[in-house]
Amino acid sequence: MGNSVGTLISTRTKEEIDLKGKTKLLLAILGAVPFIMVLGNSMLIPVLPQMQQKLGITQFQTSLVISLFSIPAGLTIPLAGFLSDRIGRKKIIAPALIIYGIGGLVAGGAAVLLDKAAYWLIIAGRIIQGIGAAGTAPVTMALVGDIFTSKERSKALGYFEASNGLGKVVSPILGSLIALLAWFGTFFLFPILTVPIALLVWFFINEPQSERSKQSISQYLKSIKTIFKNKAACLISAFAAGSLALLLLFGILFFLSDYLETSMKLFGVKKGFVLAIPVLAMSVTSFTTGTFIKKQVSLMKKLVIIGFGLMTITLGILPFLKNPWYFVGVMSATGIGVGLILPCLNTLITSAVSIQERGMVTSLYGGVRFFGVAAGPPLFGFLNGFGRYVMFWSSAGAALVVGIICLLALPSKAPAQQQEDTQDNKKGGKKSWGVVFLETVTFRNSIGKLVTRKPLKKNEEDTSGKESDKELDKESNKEQP
């Protein structure tokens, strides 16, 4: 009896160890996808001045190397999400990684063979890379939501966001190191990394079997519209929060890159290491947050609000700082705020929809994040023209506004409990602050309709006044004994 019990315990222990080992392998493979995707822009930023000099192009043409990667990616992401819901996640992720690598080969090959005439072929390669990037990280986020459920999901998504952050940490250092050999060497790194990761995804990831969506595009869009209608407050506020958090983060990094050269006289690899500090703070916070939020929706909401509060405070005090290292330290605190926000939003969004629509919704979220990343540097460059106070205080104001929106609109309870409360509220005529706020700003309720109501004409005002007087007289007569 004792031997059988001991055998049973040891067997269970071995199964648990095997399960943990498989989970770590899954997370390592899935985490590699956002890591690679982040390299697409961040690794090239230290190389751009050298590229501009070698190709003899303008600063605007140089910026297109970044923009014409991000824009095609943002536009193609919804299609990638739609297809992943119909045919499966792996069938999108693996080919997308290959396309991503091919784009790098096109750009790198052009730089080697055509020298100064390579610019437009490099742009073509970057567009190909952007199309490939659309099917990588956003669809992988949906796959993480499919594979991991309940408490595991938040931890897995925290790891996913940490991998994304790690890519942002490593990329400027890696780009600076490769540029020491050849400025175009970064392009050839993409196929070297994407091909093995695509093979690992295809052969080692077992996608959960579920009934795939068989709707037409019009029917599918209607179902997505229904999801947003039913959960508008949660999804719209989460999308806005994720986009703004990354916009502010990349805007700050763009400013910091120039600040390190002008104020601290740091260049090359040294500058890359200092740029990595705020992103490392974000990455560590993202991983830590994902490990303990689990299914606690109320905690997620609190952390999102705390994150935006921290960003508001740090952005507000940055213009007053003169010491460069204090500046970097406070910017790192802003990175911590972003690290508190993103894992919570990832979990809320992936848990808000079913597996059949998750690919499309997470891809839309990924597209919004992509546009936030693309908009940050030019927006901060524009605002910096008006001075640091305008740049940082307008950013702090935006963080404060979105934090208040999240306070009003994000759910405080798990979806099942929230649904029960919603049904009770419909019976009792009560609505949450988030619903009231959303209906007001979209002019759906009586408060919002007051804003758009046409002014009464004089005759109508007299008539309405007389009718209201009659009603008051009737009520007063009823009250008399």
Give the C-alpha separation, 146 to 218, whole Å. Answer: 24
Domain assignment present for 467: no
Task: Write out pLDDT tens, residues 376-428.
Answer: 877 887 888 898 899 999 999 999 999 999 999 888 776 544 444 444 444 44
Give the C-alpha separation, 180 to 415, whole Å. Answer: 52
Asked whether 213 and 85 are in contact (CB, 8 A), the reply is: yes
Residues 136 and 19 in one domain: yes
pLDDT at residue number 370: 77
Domain assignment present for 463: no
Which tokens hold the place of 68? Answer: 């014409």
Residues 383 and 298 in one domain: yes
Which tokens hold the place of 459? Answer: 């005759």
Which tokens hold the place of 99? Answer: 């396309």
Give the C-alpha separation, 201 to 139, whole Å. Answer: 12
Residues 268 and 191 in one domain: yes
Residues 356 and 295 in one domain: yes
Widest distance between CA atoms in the chain:
100
391 Cβ contact list (under 8 Å, min separation 6): 255, 380, 383, 384
Domain coverage including residue 425? 413-455
Structural domain total, the chain: 2
Residues 23 and 34 in one domain: yes
Which residue, 379, 394, 412, sits at the end of a domain?
Answer: 412
Q: Which residue has the tokens 């175009």?
A: 184
pTM: 0.69
Regions of the chain short of the pLDDT cut 70: 1-22, 150-151, 210-216, 220, 355-357, 359, 414-481
pLDDT at residue number 406: 92
Alpha-carbon distance values, 412 to 198, 345, 430 (Å): 38, 13, 16
pLDDT at residue number 188: 93
pLDDT at residue number 87: 86
Phi, psi at 259, each rounded to 5°: -65, -35
pLDDT at residue number 398: 95
Residues 34 and 141 in one domain: yes
Which sign does the torsion angle of CA 109, 167, 34, 405 carry? negative
Nearest to 68 by CA among 121, 11, 4: 121
Domain assignment present for 478: no
Residues 310 and 451 in one domain: no
Query: What is the domain-level CATH number for residue 168?
Result: 1.20.1250.20
Which tokens hold the place of 97? Answer: 């990684």
Domain assignment present for 302: yes
How many whole angstroms from its chain centre is CA 339?
11
pLDDT at residue number 194: 94
Task: Write out pLDDT tens, residues 341-365.
Answer: 998 888 888 777 776 667 677 778 8
Residues 372 and 382 in one domain: yes
Domain assignment present for 101: yes
Domain assignment present for 184: yes
Residues 441 and 306 in one domain: no
Residues 62 and 157 in one domain: yes
Alpha-carbon distance values, 156 to 144, 220, 343 (Å): 7, 28, 9
Domain assignment present for 332: yes
Domain assignment present for 468: no
What percentage of the chain carries pLDDT values higher than 70?
78
What mean pLDDT is reported for the chain? 78
Residues 249 and 341 in one domain: yes
Residues 304 and 426 in one domain: no
Which sign does the torsion angle of CA 284, 287, 289, 291 carry? negative
Nearest to 88 by CA among 140, 164, 27: 140
